Amino acid sequence: MGELARPSVVAEILERHGLRLTRSLGQHFLVDGNVLARMVEAAALTSGDTVLEIGPGIGTLTEELCARAGRVVAVEMDARLLSVLGETLGSSTNLDLVEGDAMRVDLRGLFQPGERVKVVSNLPYNVATPLILRLLRELPQAESMVVTVQRELADRYTARPGHPAYGGVSAKMLLLSEVSRLAYIPPTVFMPPPRVESAVLRIARKDTAMSAAEVESFFLFLNASFASRRKMLVNALSSGRVPYCSRANAEDALVAAGFPPGVRAEELTCEELLSVYRRL
């Protein structure tokens, strides 16, 4: 691993530029060469790959990506870090730095329609879930991701019915991807260390016949289904300030899909929930 992965080097660069990291932006820089090596290895990068990195920070991971991929596109929201990246990675001719919020940047416009993209990133903690779902829904060029997230989120992404962490996010991830947990990692591999454990995940895109509008509609159904976890599904769908549907319609859909009226959303797989949604 390069020099940037050393904690002493990161601390010196931040001090020299008078920078204090902002927890509200989820800024926790990876400073462990073993974890960086694991991520790069899992991404299986070649010179024909384009990599998207969200939140490069000062470039500890970016340095390794540039050494292996044909092109690296790094999106950084914190304008203070752009000058730092210019210093640390200014000699990287295959790096495109983009200033902006990854939740608002035109991600698809950063790449050619047929460009092969892999996402490799130490994701900002505060936007990990909506960002991953946005990438799966809006960036068809991205075939896979190797990312770090909070352990709690990793457990949700990989949970199945019957697991306490299983919920609407689990079903959304299952619809669009296959998620595998590569490792749990302690707070000490970051600077500054977060208050929680993290995990390295590999996320592979699934092909789905559903249109973008259908996915959006199904997600609304999932939001309603899991809004009150302990309620029966018929009650969850038919209650609240703006009910998703009537109780009678919910009962009819469940019976038509082959499930008892008393079933809860947390007892059904993504495919089973999709069958109920389609009957509604």
Longest Cα separation, the chain: 66
**What is residue 22's predicted lDDT score, i.e. its pLDDT?**
67
Q: What is the DSSP letter of 41?
A: H
Same domain, 27 and 117: yes
Q: Are residues 179 and 162 in the same domain?
A: yes
The answer to whether residues 147 and 188 belong to one domain is yes
Domain, as residue range, for 219 = 212-279
- Whether the pLDDT of residue 276 is over 70: the answer is yes
Verify that 149 and 272 share a domain, yes or no.
Answer: no
pLDDT digits 0-9 by tens, 45-82 = 999 999 999 999 999 999 999 999 999 999 999 888 98
Of 190, 205, 220, which residue constitutes the final position of a domain? 205
138 vs 8 pLDDT, higher one: 138
CATH number of the domain to which 39 belongs: 3.40.50.150
160 and 257 part of one domain: no
Rg (CA), the chain: 21
Residues 220 and 194 in one domain: no
∠ CA 224-243-167, rounded to 5° = 10
Specify whether 9 is located in the same domain as 145: yes
CATH number (domain holding residue 235): 1.10.8.100
| pTM of the complete model | 0.93
Q: Are residues 164 and 238 in the same domain?
A: no
Higher confidence at residue 114 or residue 168?
168
| 193 lies in the same domain as 219 | no
- Where does the pLDDT of residue 25 fall: very low under 50, low under 70, confident under 90, or very high at 90 and above? low
Short-list 234, 239, 229, CA closest to 253: 234
Query: 265: exposed, middle or buried (C-beta count within 10 Å: 0-12, 13-18, 19+)?
Result: buried
Q: What is the pLDDT of residues 98-114, one digit of tens each?
A: 999 999 999 999 999 88
The CA-atom distances, in angstroms, between 82 and each of 59, 88, 89, 138, 191 are 10, 10, 10, 25, 18
Greater confidence (80 vs 219) lies with 219
Q: Are 13 and 151 within one domain?
A: yes
Q: How far apart are CA 170 and CA 155, in angstroms?
A: 9
Which of 178, 205, 232 lies at the terminal end of a domain, its last residue? 205
User: pLDDT class for 222, splitting at 50, 70, 90?
Assistant: very high
46, burial (CB in 10 Å: exposed 0-12, middle 13-18, buried 19+)? exposed
Let me know whether 114 and 220 are in one domain.
Answer: no
Q: Are residues 54 and 127 in the same domain?
A: yes
Report helix, strand or coil for 191.
strand
- Tally of structural domains, the chain: 2
Is a pLDDT exceeding 80 seen at residue 5?
no
3-state secondary structure of 40: helix
Cβ atoms 277, 221 nearer than 8 A = yes
* Banded model confidence at residue 6, pLDDT cuts 50, 70, 90: confident
Domain boundary residue, one of 187, 205, 223: 205
